[in-house]
Chain A
Amino acid sequence: MSIVTLRVNGAVHEVDIDESMPLLYVLRNDLGLQGPRFGCGLSQCGSCTVIVDGIALRSCILTASQVRGEITTLEGLSEDGQLDLLQQAWIDEQVPQCGYCQNGQIMTAKALLGRNPNPTDAEIREGMEGVLCRCMTYYRIQAAIKRAASGMAAVEQGSDAEADSLTTSASVAAIAPEAIE
């Protein structure tokens, strides 16, 4: 056992752990975070993905003591209660079914857009290839990534109108419940 310092979602944590412990279990069981989930423990599915210094990594095989950088989990994407554009795109496109894998989908997409803000369809497929979904929400995930990328571009250009006018590509638009009486 040894004291390991982890920087997670803007906070610093010191945890007394076995150095060989995968980061996943520290995040989930010591720090109470629920975004990253156990899916395979083999780095094959992506459900446990976190972002470390902008790079999407699989926390199920990453030893906690190896991590020096700033860790972001799904909980850390939103700021001051404001959802990340990707998270909002996930709602707008009504992406999840069960939702178990969506942590990995969103975190991998976040890192993808971080290094390539305007990916082509082929780049989205390639960048997301290793993240599995057994409900098969892939089509909507890809639509949501495109939506978020367009939204980012619109924000960049100061054009809120364009961001607002995006229409969903995967479906007829869902409406917020307040619209119904």
Chain B
Amino acid sequence: MSAALRLPKSLEDALLAVNTSTSRRSFLKSSGALVLSCSVSAVPGGRVLAQAAGEGLYPDPDHLQLDTWIVIHPDNTATFFVGKTDGGQGTGTAFRQMMCDELDIAYAKTSLIMGSTDTTPDQGGSGGSDAIERDGWPMRRVAAEARRVLFKLASEHLQIPVEELAVRNATISAKTDTAKSVTYAELVGGQRFEITLTGNNINATRGVADVKPVNELRVVGQPIERYDIPAKVDGSLTWAVDVKLPGMVHARNVRPPIAGATLQSFDESSVADMPGFVRIVSRGNYLAVVCEREEQAINAARQFRVDWAPPPEAPFPASDKLFDYMRSVTPTSSRETDSRGDPDSALATADLVIETDYEVPFQGHTAIGPAHALADPSGGQMTIYSNDMKSYGLRNGVANFLDLPREQVRVVYMDGPQVYGRTAADDVGFEAAFLASELGRPVRLQWMRDEETAWDTKGPAYTFKLRGGLDADGKIVALDYDARALDYNHLGYNDPDTVLIAQLMGIRPDSPAEGNAATPSNKYAIPNRRMTARVVRLPMVWETPLRTGNLRDPNGPQVTFAFESFIDELAAVAKADPVEFRLDMLARSAEDDLFRRARSLATVRAAADAYGWVSRPSPNLHVAASVGPILSGRGIAYTYRNGTIVATIAEVEVNRETGRVWVKRLVCAHDCGLVINPVGLRQTIECAMLHGLSRALWEEVRFDTEKVTSIDWVSYPSLRHSDTPESIEVVLVNGDPRPERSDLPPYGAGEGSHKPMIASVANAIHDATGVWLRRPPFTPQRVLEGMNAST
């Protein structure tokens, strides 16, 4: 491998492991098994070698070949190949643990390759926090199948029946005589399994063997350190942002200064004499400057004189008029979900009815590292080095966009800044590939900070109107939920006709995506209810920086804020304790199955117990009457997400003089079923909570009628060290109320604890101050305004 071609350490390790004297590839050559074309793809390590040498095309690794997933090396170690990516939640470590358990090999003897399209089977990359929940299953099953095959080979080798054999750490021996043994390497090290798997899609992939029952798992459940952390703290990891190739040039985009502006003309002479200038690339309203060096490209993009014509009409209302606009326009779609009973009659006859509006602004991904990619067009092919969490989609999308055969495009997945959904990593991958194809040279492109913060995809803004009725006993008899999400033309992942460069070039799908508005997933006992979700649109839906796309639990934080805050408002009116109010409605709910209801009750109770929750209604009038600037309060919120159950409690200190909210303490009770790695899980839960806290306290996309005006860390503030709680307690409730169950499944954990945070904080602020803040972020200014309005 050329020194300049800096691949991920894990890939290099895999190359070295394969590139030994008894390598898989040389074995295949000597045995005559190497047939150029598809069968090569069944040898992941061999494929890497071939590509590193710049030869051949990039067919899809065949997920129905066991060799695609697992390679046993001559030194009795193993490499696993999975089609996933890890945005920093430790899923890679968890995958290894699951596969080690099924294969019966020590964790330390294994390595894992993830998410590079020509090397690993297409599991779609990441998304939906279902890495463990869904994609872990084929990994476990193929590892179990490898173990079965190894037992069969060992039986033949040792002339001992399979049932009289046992395995310990990749060595199979006779149960009665451990001297009669053979290692995995002696059986298949450097060779192919040649086992064809079944399954009509990748999630269903399996061999003959079954996975182990949960109570036989040994590596699963262990708090193993994440393997990727040491190289991230000593500076040795090569990230996507670090890759350098011979002949590489640097590009920077030049964006329209006004949303929807049309490129009229540009003055190339304004940059042509600048040092290192290579070329201007322009098509439609897409414009980029290419220079030899990075800082040259940055300078040239700044000095470039471009004439833009503004759009005939304002593309959107200003952010301070956004919610009025959303309430006034006709929805593009409306749907009712989960409605039952007769909410109108029940509200008309209820003892007490309250009606409340909530609002949530657009919030952004705003990755700490602006989007970047390096695209290499060498040899008429296209290789993209990227941290895009859906590397397979990027490959397919770019092939379509550039009209290249899929087999000529690959994405090498590498570490990068956080990817909690549909980020600008998608957009920049297409842009780099386009520029590389135009220049015929490797092009490295990174967005600038203002570009990232203004133009990355947004979580949709929401307005809500909720009405709720209580009976004479203070129970909710009716609830009417009506939500509007500004989500029309919601972006998919890596769509060649909706990525930003396509939009700017005028490429469009037949019609914009309908978008989505969501309703609560909580199953409380509410006999009469109507849940309505409507989508609304902005005047301009193309070429706009206010593009919506999935942002960590795409609708959950907004919906859970409105719903769980409204539950607290009803509890306060009923003068009920917020925990008891919820437990009562969960216990009476006939809609949940027993499993879910029992887990919900256990989780809410666990949070209350861990917090030391004392039963009383909110607000805490004793606190409000106290002297001094600091008011303390607590707030709970409960939620359910795809099988995962979460209850969070925030304890806040509100400074009534400055308006500053400090969440001093956080407690989370969390049930995501089977725990693969408790250390990684706890960290993921903690950080997802704090990300939610950042959205609760600080984050809001601001814009005037032409452009986004929140463009850096001052105008788009984010949580900081001083906002960090003094203590965070995570209680892993995980378990099954039916203890005999040996197949407890895992559910996702990347988003569940993110979801209830805005609600927990709003409820805690009310408990402390008696004031309902119905619109995040709860900035000092908004807290003071709320408190002043209530007095």
Contact status of A134 and B724, CB under 8 A, knowing A38-B446, A97-B418, A177-B227: no
* Cβ–Cβ contact A136 & B719, under 8 A: yes
B366 at the A interface (CB under 8 A) = yes
* Cβ–Cβ contact A100 & B108, under 8 A: no
Contact status of A125 and B241, CB under 8 A, knowing A22-B295, A97-B88: no
Chain B residues within an 8 Å CB radius of A176: 224-225
* Cβ–Cβ contact A181 & B106, under 8 A: yes
Interface members, chain B 209-241 (any A CB < 8 Å): 218-219, 222-230, 232-239, 241
User: Of all chain B residues, which has the CB nearest A81?
Assistant: B234
Interface members, chain A 96-136 (any B CB < 8 Å): 96-103, 106, 121, 124-126, 128-136
Give 1 or 0 for each of B292-303: 1 = CB within 8 Å of chain A CB.
011100100000
Report how far A72 CA is from B637 CA in the complex, Å.
Answer: 46
Q: From the candidates B87, B418, B449, name the one contacting A42 in the complex (CB within 8 A).
A: B449
Contact status of A172 and B694, CB under 8 A, knowing A29-B294, A37-B369, A94-B229: no
* Cβ–Cβ contact B241 & A37, under 8 A: yes
B691 at the A interface (CB under 8 A) = yes
Q: From the candidates B89, B714, B721, name the one contacting A97 in the complex (CB within 8 A).
A: B89
* Cβ–Cβ contact A29 & B679, under 8 A: no
Tally of A interface residues using CB under 8 Å: 68
* Cβ–Cβ contact A139 & B724, under 8 A: yes
B310 at the A interface (CB under 8 A) = no
Interface members, chain A 123-181 (any B CB < 8 Å): 124-126, 128-142, 170-178, 180-181
Contact status of A129 and B722, CB under 8 A, knowing A22-B295, A171-B679: yes
B266 at the A interface (CB under 8 A) = no
* Cβ–Cβ contact A134 & B418, under 8 A: yes
* Cβ–Cβ contact A172 & B235, under 8 A: no
* Cβ–Cβ contact A172 & B713, under 8 A: no
Chain B residues within an 8 Å CB radius of A170: 686, 728
* Cβ–Cβ contact A100 & B417, under 8 A: yes
Give 1 or 0 for each of B674-687: 1 = CB within 8 Å of chain A CB.
00001110111011
* Cβ–Cβ contact B679 & A94, under 8 A: yes
Chain A residues within an 8 Å CB radius of B343: none
* Cβ–Cβ contact A139 & B108, under 8 A: no
* Cβ–Cβ contact B235 & A73, under 8 A: yes
A87 at the B interface (CB under 8 A) = yes
Of A101, A128, A136, chain B has the most CB atoms within 10 Å of the CB of A136
Chain A residues within an 8 Å CB radius of B106: 180-181
Q: From the candidates A35, A95, A172, name the one contacting B229 in the complex (CB within 8 A).
A: A95
* Cβ–Cβ contact B683 & A74, under 8 A: no
* Cβ–Cβ contact B694 & A136, under 8 A: yes
Report how far A38 CA is from B719 CA in the complex, Å.
Answer: 19
Chain B residues within an 8 Å CB radius of A54: none
Chain A residues within an 8 Å CB radius of B726: 121
A5 at the B interface (CB under 8 A) = no
Interface members, chain A 6-49 (any B CB < 8 Å): 18, 21-22, 25, 28-29, 33-35, 37-42, 44-45, 47
* Cβ–Cβ contact B416 & A175, under 8 A: no
* Cβ–Cβ contact B721 & A124, under 8 A: yes
Closest beta carbon of chain A to B8's beta carbon, Å: 12
Chain B residues within an 8 Å CB radius of A99: 88, 228-229, 232-233, 237, 415
A53 at the B interface (CB under 8 A) = no
B107 at the A interface (CB under 8 A) = yes
Contact status of A102 and B233, CB under 8 A, knowing A136-B719, A180-B106: yes
User: Of all chain B residues, which has the CB nearest A9?
Assistant: B235
Chain B residues within an 8 Å CB radius of A18: 275, 295
B188 at the A interface (CB under 8 A) = no
Report how far A132 CA is from B415 CA in the complex, Å.
Answer: 19
* Cβ–Cβ contact B232 & A96, under 8 A: yes
* Cβ–Cβ contact A83 & B234, under 8 A: yes
B368 at the A interface (CB under 8 A) = yes
Chain B residues within an 8 Å CB radius of A3: none
Give 1 or 0 for each of B647-685: 1 = CB within 8 Å of chain A CB.
000000000000000000000000000000011101110
* Cβ–Cβ contact B449 & A39, under 8 A: yes
Closest beta carbon of chain A to B450's beta carbon, Å: 9
* Cβ–Cβ contact A97 & B449, under 8 A: no
* Cβ–Cβ contact A75 & B223, under 8 A: no
Q: Chain B, interface size: which category?
A: 35 or more
Chain B residues within an 8 Å CB radius of A136: 686-687, 689-691, 693-694, 719
* Cβ–Cβ contact A41 & B449, under 8 A: yes
Contact status of A129 and B235, CB under 8 A, knowing A101-B368, A134-B368, A139-B690: no
Interface members, chain B 328-379 (any A CB < 8 Å): 366-370
Q: From the candidates B107, B227, B238, B721, name the one contacting A34 in the complex (CB within 8 A).
A: B238
* Cβ–Cβ contact A90 & B229, under 8 A: yes
User: Of all chain A residues, which has the CB nearest B717?
Assistant: A132
Give 1 or 0 for each of A59-100: 1 = CB within 8 Å of chain B CB.
000000000000001110110000100010011001111111
Closest beta carbon of chain A to B719's beta carbon, Å: 6
Q: Is the interface of B mostly helix, strand, loop or mixed?
A: loop
B780 at the A interface (CB under 8 A) = no
Contact status of A74 and B235, CB under 8 A, knowing A99-B229, A135-B687, A177-B225: yes
* Cβ–Cβ contact B108 & A177, under 8 A: yes
* Cβ–Cβ contact B234 & A138, under 8 A: no
Report how far A24 CA is from B230 CA in the complex, Å.
Answer: 23
Closest beta carbon of chain A to B365's beta carbon, Å: 8
Report how far A124 CA is from B687 CA in the complex, Å.
Answer: 19
Chain A residues within an 8 Å CB radius of B107: 177, 180-181
Interface members, chain B 90-119 (any A CB < 8 Å): 106-108
Chain B residues within an 8 Å CB radius of A132: 368, 713, 718, 720
* Cβ–Cβ contact A100 & B418, under 8 A: yes
Chain B residues within an 8 Å CB radius of A135: 88, 368, 418, 687, 691
Closest beta carbon of chain B to A167's beta carbon, Å: 13
Of A25, A28, A99, A172, chain B has the most CB atoms within 10 Å of the CB of A99
* Cβ–Cβ contact B233 & A87, under 8 A: yes
* Cβ–Cβ contact B225 & A174, under 8 A: yes
Closest beta carbon of chain A to B403's beta carbon, Å: 32
* Cβ–Cβ contact A96 & B719, under 8 A: no
* Cβ–Cβ contact B368 & A94, under 8 A: no
B306 at the A interface (CB under 8 A) = no
B710 at the A interface (CB under 8 A) = no
Chain A residues within an 8 Å CB radius of B295: 18, 21-22, 25
Interface members, chain B 434-450 (any A CB < 8 Å): 446, 448-449
Give 1 or 0 for each of B711-749: 1 = CB within 8 Å of chain A CB.
011100011111111101000000000000000000000
User: Of all chain B residues, which has the CB nearest A134?
Assistant: B368
B242 at the A interface (CB under 8 A) = yes
Chain A residues within an 8 Å CB radius of B236: 75
Contact status of A39 and B368, CB under 8 A, knowing A97-B683, A106-B233, A138-B724: yes
Q: From the candidates A25, A90, A134, name the one contacting B366 in the complex (CB within 8 A).
A: A134
* Cβ–Cβ contact A174 & B718, under 8 A: no
B19 at the A interface (CB under 8 A) = no
Chain B residues within an 8 Å CB radius of A38: 241, 369-370, 446
Report how far A84 CA is from B222 CA in the complex, Å.
Answer: 27
Chain A residues within an 8 Å CB radius of B709: none
Chain A residues within an 8 Å CB radius of B108: 177-178, 180
Contacts A/B (CB < 8 Å), 21 sampled? A21-B295, A33-B235, A34-B238, A44-B713, A45-B368, A94-B225, A94-B679, A97-B418, A100-B239, A100-B416, A102-B233, A125-B724, A126-B722, A132-B720, A134-B368, A134-B418, A136-B719, A138-B724, A171-B682, A171-B683, A174-B225
Given A41-B448, A94-B680, 10 extra CB contacts under 8 A: A42-B449, A74-B233, A91-B229, A96-B88, A100-B416, A134-B417, A135-B368, A138-B719, A138-B724, A173-B223
Q: What 3 pairs between A and B have smallest CB-CB spacing?
A: A97-B88, A136-B690, A99-B232
A residues contacting B by CB (< 8 A) are 18, 21-22, 25, 28-29, 33-35, 37-42, 44-45, 47, 73-75, 77-78, 83, 87, 90-91, 94-103, 106, 121, 124-126, 128-142, 170-178, 180-181
